[in-house]
Chain A
Amino acid sequence: MEADMSKEINFMVGGEAGQGVQTIGFILAKTMSRAGLEVFADQDYESRVRGGHNFFRVRAGNSELLSLSEKLDVLIAIDQNTVENHQQEVNDDGVTIFDHDKLKTEGKKVNSLSIRLEKIADDITSNKLMANSVAIGAAVAVGGYKFEFLKEVIKEQFAHLGQDIVDSNIKAASAGYDHAMKSKPEFIRDPIKPRKSNHKMLLTGNEAIALGAMVAGCKFISAYPMTPASSIMEYMAEKESEFNMIVIQPEDEIAAINMAVGAGYAGVRAMTATSGDGFALMTEGYGLAGCTETPVVIVIAQRPGPAVGLPTRTEQGELGFVIYGGSGEFPRAVLAPRTIEDAFYTTVKAFNLAEIYQIPVVILTDQHLASSYQTVTKFDLHKVKIDRGQLITDKEMRNITDYKRHKFTDSGISPRMIPMSGGPLVVTDSDEHDEAGHMIEDAAIRTRMMLKRMKKIESLKKETAGCRLHSRRNAKVTLIGWGSTYGAIMEAASLLERDNLNVNVLQLNELWPFPVDAVTSALNTTKTGIVIENNITGQLSKLITAETGIKCANSIHKFDGRPFSPSYIVKEVKKEVV
């Protein structure tokens, strides 16, 4: 019976920027994954390279985890701020690991596992910098896990720095592990046993998108560094040669999107990635892709605006911007993955839609999805189908004598050709143009060309017509969300059920063209709808009303730059329902 119970352990590492918080957090997350557990890990960091206060949370358990927990079992405090800010999140039986030569926990109710981290590191490896590894060793010991898992992860993590560094880190971690086992045996837990043998990948949302793009055959990414999107380009740059891709960091976001359009026009699958302000610079190129009917995929990892806002934090403030943005009117698709795993398959779909409909396609994520880690089942490559739409092949093009890039067709989709020597000429223009792609002023041709482009929406609509409704018996309320809030909302729904409040969950991930019929029927299943969004104005709520005529009277907004936790949603839903 016990094996079926849902169990979890929550770690947090906190410290200043530059103190190795990210490295410790990642090693812990990977160690838990190697121990066969499901992991969800999120990062909270400031926009600075040194100082400040950063933390990394690792939630590990024996069932799938898609959101963060606000309760801690093991707190690794690298600095005094971590003790001050997070001690209250530690459960009564939780443990705080810290170096009592440096930090104080006086006046606080703490199960302290104080270790002289730096002294041990110095004694064992003659290098105080190994103190973090001593702390990780102690944390893994408290969890009750075998040292072997940690040892393997350390080997991989530090291999590029040479054998000496690997050996020193292992020694330091081992000393921390042994110290915890011996000095505080009462803190050592029974390890959570995995339900089945678990060989999952530990990935961030950005890595899942990069992998999705590579599997989809993307050969060109031009992107200007912008938190929290940069790691997509960085991941692909690392694999550039192996996968025969071109990765370019241009002078600005304007060049980034124009390069992607140029590459798309010249024949390869192309993309760019940015955040809100970067996309503000790209809106001109967004319209260019729409007007010239050039496929392009644009990833927007949202962060709080306006302007520079909170660069390293999360928000869902750009839904309206991407749906309505750009000069004039043109068809586009907007997809918002709900989980890190979903981000992979969504990216493949984005590349297909871009080429089938010859339009710009936006993948709308946020910092919470982009830089959180999740254990993900090995991707099912049978589900990956590459559809390049009406692309005229090399062979076919030899027989074409009168090619028109923007030919009027019933579907609005004109067969697409790549400019090649020996082939028909491919002409397109950011000015309004005729079927042949040459600039025009004629009112009748303009009208037909607008109708032709917008006609594509009719078939595109069918591609985004669905939505996910998770129903519960006798539910009176539907919780509605979009994108990365899926994990927190789903877990909140389970917690509410325990409190005898059954709710449905409607999570929208394909937001444009808007799935009008599916949303209308889903919302008609309950009387009350509560829209939950990481923004202040309720952009999804307004979109639902605009597209379906249904008004959701209740809403929960969060715009402090931090992600929703399940417990926060539970608390707010209870306020709305009572």
Chain B
Amino acid sequence: MVITNNMITLSDYKPSMAIQWCPGCGNFGILTSMRRALVAAKLEPSQVLMVSGIGQAGKFPHYVHSHVLNELHGRPIPAAQAAKIVNNELTVIAFSGDGDGYGEGGNHFISAMIRNVNMTYVVHNNQVYGLTKGQASPTSDIGFVTKTTPLGAWQPMRPLALAIACDCSFVARGFSADIEHLANIFQEALQHKGFALIEVLQPCVSFNHQNTYDWYRERIYKLSDDYDPGDRMKAFDKALEWGEHIPIGIIYRKKPPRI
């Protein structure tokens, strides 16, 4: 029953309701990149199921014309995996923020990477809680002062290193202000057979005045063309790199599993 339509355009993926993000929010770049990737993949909106949790990233599916299951906080990936398993013709994409995906949904995150269901998982990482207005998140930098961490945050989690430890079959990082690069990663992820994790660095203009657009721009670099994402140990090194230099691109890619 798959309908292919070569005439899919960006307007097919217009928002289904008014966008509620702050002006300048890093999420806009993710939205543009994802819409471009869906068009490039020649997918009809009805072939796409978007599942999300709660947080600013949780609103994402409402802004892309598609099937939508907006789940509970931290729970998008269990539902997304099940939907893909029972309704295999759908392209399933799940969305979380750093709080939703790495905090509340941490156990689901680990298990989904091990289970390796064929779906895409986008984590909007702004290193802070946005919807609840500025508390520390699992990826807040050490010492990050917020209303709930006046003495500074604990050390941050390194989710991509965790992903590689779990042998997640596709691990990538993008930057929301580099739309072309991010759209390419999304396209690769949509074509990948297996669980694809893309963490997107996405500045929060309202609550994170430390990890700003400029902060990221000064540190981010693209993995070179001769970088081999098939080398797991090297990928692990790259996944741990943070601070002065932050790599973006496809960090780890496993050969498709035989099922």
- A interface vs B, CB < 8 Å? 219-220, 222, 246, 248, 250-252, 254-256, 258-263, 265-268, 270, 284-285, 288, 292, 418-431, 436-439
Which of B67-75, B157-165, B175-183, B218-226 lies on the face that meets chain A? B67-75
Residue from A260, A265, A431 whose CB has the most chain B CB atoms within 10 Å: A265
Chain A contacts for B46, CB-based, 8 A? 419-425
Query: In whole angstroms, what is the CA distance A324 to B147 when docked?
Result: 35
Which of B25-33, B86-94, B228-236, B247-255 lies on the face that meets chain A? B86-94
Contact, CB under 8 Å: B51 / A262: yes
Answer whether residue B85 sits at the interface, using C-beta atoms and an 8 A cutoff: yes
Q: Contacts A251-B111, A266-B90 hold; do A421 and B75 have CB atoms under 8 A apart?
A: no
Nearest Cβ on chain A to B244's Cβ, whole angstroms: 36
Q: Range of interface residues on chain B? A: 35 or more
For this complex, 5 residue pairs linking A to B, each with C-beta atoms less than 8 Å apart, are A262-B79, A266-B86, A420-B90, A422-B2, A429-B68
Answer whether residue B49 sits at the interface, using C-beta atoms and an 8 A cutoff: yes
Contact, CB under 8 Å: A421 / B86: no
Answer whether residue B66 sits at the interface, using C-beta atoms and an 8 A cutoff: yes
Answer whether residue B59 sits at the interface, using C-beta atoms and an 8 A cutoff: yes
Residue from B44, B46, B67, B83 whose CB has the most chain A CB atoms within 10 Å: B67
Answer whether residue B151 sits at the interface, using C-beta atoms and an 8 A cutoff: no
Query: In whole angstroms, what is the CA distance A569 to B18 when docked?
Result: 64
Other than the given A220-B85, A263-B85, A429-B68, 12 more pairs (CB < 8 A) read A222-B82, A251-B110, A255-B78, A258-B79, A262-B81, A265-B69, A266-B82, A266-B86, A285-B72, A420-B90, A425-B68, A428-B69
Contact, CB under 8 Å: A260 / B82: yes
Within the complex, which residue of B3, B67, B75, B111 is in contact with A427, where a contact is CB–CB below 8 Å?
B67
Contact, CB under 8 Å: A436 / B71: no
List CB contacts (< 8 Å) of B28-71 with chain A: 44-47, 49, 51, 54, 59, 62, 65-71
Chain A contacts for B16, CB-based, 8 A? 427, 436, 438
Chain A contacts for B68, CB-based, 8 A? 425-429, 437-438
Chain B contacts for A431, CB-based, 8 A? 54, 70
Contact, CB under 8 Å: A267 / B67: no
Contact, CB under 8 Å: B44 / A259: no
Closest to A263 in B: B82
Contact, CB under 8 Å: A246 / B86: yes
Contact, CB under 8 Å: B79 / A261: yes
Nearest Cβ on chain B to A81's Cβ, whole angstroms: 40
Counting residue pairs across A and B whose Cβ atoms lie within 8 Å, the total is: 139
Query: In whole angstroms, what is the CA distance A255 to B77 when docked?
Result: 9
Contact, CB under 8 Å: B75 / A285: yes
Contact, CB under 8 Å: A421 / B2: yes
Chain A contacts for B79, CB-based, 8 A? 258-259, 261-262, 265
Closest to A430 in B: B72
Closest to A422 in B: B3
Within the complex, which residue of A250, A258, A424, A425 is in contact with B71, where a contact is CB–CB below 8 Å?
A258
Query: In whole angstroms, what is the CA distance A430 to B46 when docked?
Result: 21
Query: In whole angstroms, what is the CA distance A440 to B86 when docked?
Result: 29
A-B complex: 7 closest residue pairs judged by Cβ atoms: A262-B79, A262-B82, A419-B67, A266-B83, A258-B78, A251-B111, A259-B82
Chain A contacts for B54, CB-based, 8 A? 430-431
Answer whether residue B259 sits at the interface, using C-beta atoms and an 8 A cutoff: no
Answer whether residue B17 sits at the interface, using C-beta atoms and an 8 A cutoff: yes
Query: In whole angstroms, what is the CA distance A437 to B51 when docked?
Result: 13
Nearest Cβ on chain B to A328's Cβ, whole angstroms: 12
Chain B contacts for A419, CB-based, 8 A? 46, 49, 67, 83, 87, 90
Q: Contacts A255-B111, A418-B87, A420-B89 hold; do A262 and B80 have CB atoms under 8 A apart?
A: yes
Q: Contacts A250-B111, A259-B81 hold; do A422 and B71 have CB atoms under 8 A apart?
A: no
Answer whether residue B7 sits at the interface, using C-beta atoms and an 8 A cutoff: no
Nearest Cβ on chain A to B156's Cβ, whole angstroms: 23
List CB contacts (< 8 Å) of B109-166 with chain A: 110-111
Query: In whole angstroms, what is the CA distance A284 to B68 when docked?
Result: 19
Contact, CB under 8 Å: B47 / A421: yes
Q: Contacts A420-B46, A420-B89 hold; do A292 and B69 have CB atoms under 8 A apart?
A: yes
Contact, CB under 8 Å: B75 / A258: yes
Query: In whole angstroms, what is the CA distance A419 to B50 when docked?
Result: 11
Query: In whole angstroms, what is the CA distance A271 to B187 when docked?
Result: 34
Residue from B44, B49, B65, B75 whose CB has the most chain A CB atoms within 10 Å: B75
Closest to A259 in B: B82
Q: Contacts A252-B107, A429-B68, A430-B71 hold; do A421 and B78 have CB atoms under 8 A apart?
A: no
Query: In whole angstroms, what is the CA distance A493 to B169 when docked?
Result: 63
Closest to B79 in A: A262
Contact, CB under 8 Å: B72 / A258: yes
Within the complex, which residue of A250, A268, A436 is in contact with B78, where a contact is CB–CB below 8 Å?
A250
Chain A contacts for B80, CB-based, 8 A? 262
Chain A contacts for B70, CB-based, 8 A? 428-431, 439
Query: In whole angstroms, what is the CA distance A427 to B107 when docked?
Result: 26
Chain B contacts for A427, CB-based, 8 A? 16, 62, 67-68
Closest to B75 in A: A258
Within the complex, which residue of A219, A292, A424 is in contact with B86, where a contact is CB–CB below 8 Å?
A219
Query: In whole angstroms, what is the CA distance A428 to B16 when docked?
Result: 12
Within the complex, which residue of B59, B69, B87 is in contact with A267, where a contact is CB–CB below 8 Å?
B87
Nearest Cβ on chain A to B104's Cβ, whole angstroms: 10
Q: Contacts A427-B68, A430-B54, A430-B71 hold; do A422 and B82 have CB atoms under 8 A apart?
A: no
Contact, CB under 8 Å: A420 / B87: yes
Q: Contacts A251-B108, A419-B49, A422-B46 hold; do A288 and B72 have CB atoms under 8 A apart?
A: yes
Contact, CB under 8 Å: A420 / B86: no
Query: In whole angstroms, what is the CA distance A284 to B16 when docked?
Result: 27
Contact, CB under 8 Å: A421 / B90: yes
Chain B contacts for A420, CB-based, 8 A? 1, 46, 87, 89-90
Nearest Cβ on chain B to A406's Cβ, whole angstroms: 12
Chain A contacts for B69, CB-based, 8 A? 262, 265, 292, 428
Query: In whole angstroms, what is the CA distance A430 to B110 when docked?
Result: 23
Chain B contacts for A262, CB-based, 8 A? 51, 69, 71, 78-83
Query: In whole angstroms, what is the CA distance A262 to B108 when docked?
Result: 14
Chain B contacts for A250, CB-based, 8 A? 78, 111
Query: In whole angstroms, what is the CA distance A510 to B72 when docked?
Result: 29
Chain A contacts for B44, CB-based, 8 A? 421-422
Chain B contacts for A270, CB-based, 8 A? 82, 86
Chain A contacts for B49, CB-based, 8 A? 266, 419
Nearest Cβ on chain B to A327's Cβ, whole angstroms: 10
Contact, CB under 8 Å: B72 / A259: no
Query: In whole angstroms, what is the CA distance A436 to B68 when docked?
Result: 10
Chain A contacts for B89, CB-based, 8 A? 420-421
Within the complex, which residue of A248, A255, A438 is in contact with B62, where a contact is CB–CB below 8 Å?
A438
